[in-house]
């Protein structure tokens, strides 16, 4: 029995090593291309090729060179491999009960994000203190207007993928030299203003950075995001005929819903308002 147990640990360690190596080779959200992983000349080749075949069935790897090499097609596939590595390392099954009747959520495998969310939830049950597999940097804009004294409104943009109103801005990409560059690029795209230059088109005032860990509305899995918020003063009119832009009241932000029932995700702004570090609302209303 001891020998069998030792072999199990060895196989598990081999599986985790392969999963981690593949995950590290995946392309990133920021634009870094993926790398090919070769199994040429490695020990325990037959076992690892069997694992690779199983991962190919899941679609998280693509085999090359007669199966002796593989690449990970997307960042989502890379995160899935990271989650699988942690789950394999626990030695516990992904599904703990195969006796319960009922089909449950039949859409689990319909979208990659649904599978990611399910894997992440199971991982969190088994490893409550595990760090999120997804970490990103993002720049967001605080754009306001005051319709009357004390009645402040905030400009939000609708994210079709997340199905929620969010602060304008977005994830930092590989070619963005700074958080400022990220915001200029994102604002030009989201506000329909084209390329923006500071200070001709707008003024940016950096606010304290924020770090949040929460389930991603886009991908479903826990994500640690470092937000770089900027107070933005625009010198050009915003084309509000664009349906993806809307001025929202603070009450809607706090309720997490617009007046017509659409989801709102503006946690960075709420934290700045609640902490009162810069007495933001009062300053903006002046």
Interval 122-153: pLDDT, tens:
999 999 999 999 999 999 999 998 877 667 89
**100 belongs to a structural domain:** no
- Of 121, 131, 138, nearest to 225 by C-alpha is 138
Q: How far apart are CA 81 and CA 55, in angstroms?
A: 9
Question: Is pLDDT of 276 > 90?
Answer: no
Residue 209: inside a domain: yes
CATH number at residue 213: 3.90.79.10
Residue 118 lies in a domain: yes
Residue 104 lies in a domain: no
Strand 222-234 to 134-142 pairing: parallel
3-state helix, strand, coil in the chain (%, to 5): 35, 25, 40
Asked if 230 and 207 count as a contact pair (C-beta separation under 8 A), the reply is yes
Taking the C-alpha atoms of residue 136 and residue 133, their distance in angstroms, rounded to an integer, is 10
**Domain count across the chain:** 2
Q: Is 120 found in the same domain as 165?
A: no
Which residues share a beta bridge with 70? 37, 63
Q: Tell me: pLDDT of 2 over 60.
A: no
137 strand-pairing partners: 226
For residue 42, give its domain range.
2-93+109-126
* φ, ψ (nearest 5 deg) of residue 243: -70, -15
Look up the pTM and report it. 0.79
Please say if the pLDDT value at position 174 is more than 60. yes
pLDDT band at residue 103 using 50, 70 and 90 as cut-offs: low
% the chain with pLDDT above 70: 90
Do 241 and 207 form a contact (C-beta atoms < 8 A)?
no
- In whole angstroms, give the CA distance from residue 53 to residue 32: 26
Cα–Cα dist 149/132, whole Å? 42
């Amino acid at each position: 029995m001891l020998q069998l147990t030792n072999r199990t640990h060895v196989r598990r360690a081999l599986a985790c090593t392969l999963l981690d190596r593949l995950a590290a080779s995946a392309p990133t959200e920021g634009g870094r291309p993926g790398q090919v992983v070769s199994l040429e000349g490695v020990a325990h080749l037959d076992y690892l090729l069997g694992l690779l075949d199983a991962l190919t069935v899941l679609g998280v790897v693509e085999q090359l060179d007669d199966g002796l090499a593989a690449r990970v097609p997307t960042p989502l596939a890379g995160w899935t491999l990271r989650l699988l590595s942690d789950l394999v390392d626990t030695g516990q099954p992904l599904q703990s009960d195969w006796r319960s009747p009922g089909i449950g959520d039949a859409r689990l495998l319909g979208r990659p994000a649904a599978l990611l969310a399910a894997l992440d939830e199971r991982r969190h049950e088994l490893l409550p203190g595990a760090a999120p597999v997804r970490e990103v940097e993002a720049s967001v804009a605080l754009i306001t207007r005051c319709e009357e004294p004390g009645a402040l409104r905030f400009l939000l943009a609708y994210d079709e993928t997340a199905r929620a109103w969010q602060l304008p801005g977005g994830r930092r990409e590989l070619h963005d030299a700074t958080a400022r560059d990220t915001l200029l690029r994102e604002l030009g795209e989201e506000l329909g203003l084209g390329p923006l230059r500071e200070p001709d088109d707008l003024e940016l005032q950096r606010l304290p950075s924020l770090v949040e860990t929460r389930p991603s509305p886009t991908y479903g899995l826990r994500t640690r995001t470092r937000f770089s918020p900027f107070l933005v003063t625009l010198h050009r009119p915003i084309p509000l005929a664009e349906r993806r832009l809307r001025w929202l009241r603070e009450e809607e932000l706090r309720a997490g819903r617009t007046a017509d029932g659409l989801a709102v995700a503006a946690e960075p702004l709420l934290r700045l308002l609640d902490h009162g570090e810069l007495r933001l609302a009062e300053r903006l209303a002046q």
